[in-house]
Amino acid sequence: MTGQSTPYFVHESAYVDEGAEIGEGTKIWHFAHVMSGAKIGERCILGQNVLVASDAVIGSNVKVQNNVAIYTGTVVEDDVFLGPSCVLTNVTNPRSQVVRHGLYEKTVLRRGATVGANATIVCGVEIGRYAFIAAGAVVTADVPDYALMMGVPARRKGWATRHGLPMPAPDAEGVMVCPESKLRYKEVEPGVIRCLDLDEEAPLPAELSVGRIRYDEFKSPQQKK
């Protein structure tokens, strides 16, 4: 399959095994390998040297940067971003001498989550919707929606908006307004963040889907490096 006769694109150096399902508009770049039984939605981008193993499930509009392996047992929902060289896993206690095929653990990345460059997700966890895993973090437990996780082991350092900015301090009514999108968020019960303006399962409207302001410009002069 070279992409020319399919509704998706596969670079000539990539392999897509018989029995893989790939949605319209998806692009699969250099040296990638999609194995039989893998399911990939529409409009995804798989960067260089990406592996999608048998039975891994990827939604639509998922961006996978270079050198990421998505193993059997992994479910990646729509709009997830996987940063370069981030690591997903599927066996907690691997041993070369002990065959554990069929015992793969499930890891779920919910809609809109971001995994930063070189972060590691230890298997068996669920990363909540729009959670933001910082570069180099090691995630060892479930992560709530919108959580901003950093460090080794990863700890919650705050909340991130759907535009990937730290949630500002809440106003008197507990409302946090994203400085970029102006979408409003609230901690509706301890540890549970909800967007007041958009359903968590709804895609961003087109006018909010293009970034126009650099991250640094949202920082105070003291925060700027």
Ligand X SMILES: CC(C)(COP(=O)(O)OP(=O)(O)OC[C@H]1O[C@@H](n2cnc3c(N)ncnc32)[C@H](O)[C@@H]1OP(=O)(O)O)[C@@H](O)C(=O)NCCC(=O)NCCS
147 binds ligand X (CB under 6 A): no
User: What is the smallest separation between the CB atom of 161 and ligand X, expressed in angstroms?
Assistant: 12
Closest-CB residue for ligand X? 116
Which phi and psi (to 5°) does residue 99 adopt? -80, 125
Angle at 76 between CA 74 and CA 77, to 5 degrees: 145
Helix, strand, coil tally for the chain in percent (to 5): 5, 30, 65
Question: What are the start-end ranges of the E strands in 102-178?
Answer: 107-109, 114-115, 120-121, 126-127, 132-133, 138-139, 147-150, 155-159, 175-177
**Span from 45-53, 97-105, 132-140, 190-198 in contact with ligand X (CB under 6 A):** 132-140
The site map against ligand X for 39-78 (x = CB under 6 A) is ----------------------------------------
Q: Cα 8 vs. chain centroid, distance in angstroms?
A: 21
Judge whether 145 and 129 are in contact, CB under 8 Å. Answer: yes
Question: Closest CB to ligand X among 3 and 136?
Answer: 136
Start-to-end CA span in the chain (Å): 47
**Span from 27-35, 52-60, 104-112, 133-141 in contact with ligand X (CB under 6 A):** 133-141
Residue 193 pairs in a beta bridge with 187
**Span from 32-40, 88-96, 134-142, 190-198 in contact with ligand X (CB under 6 A):** 134-142
Question: Closest CB to ligand X among 5 and 223?
Answer: 223
Question: Closest CB to ligand X among 16 and 86?
Answer: 86
Q: Which of 151, 158, 170, 211 binds ligand X (CB under 6 A)?
A: 151
Considering only residues 100 to 129 of the shown chain, the ones binding ligand X according to CB under 6 A are: 116-117
93 binds ligand X (CB under 6 A): no
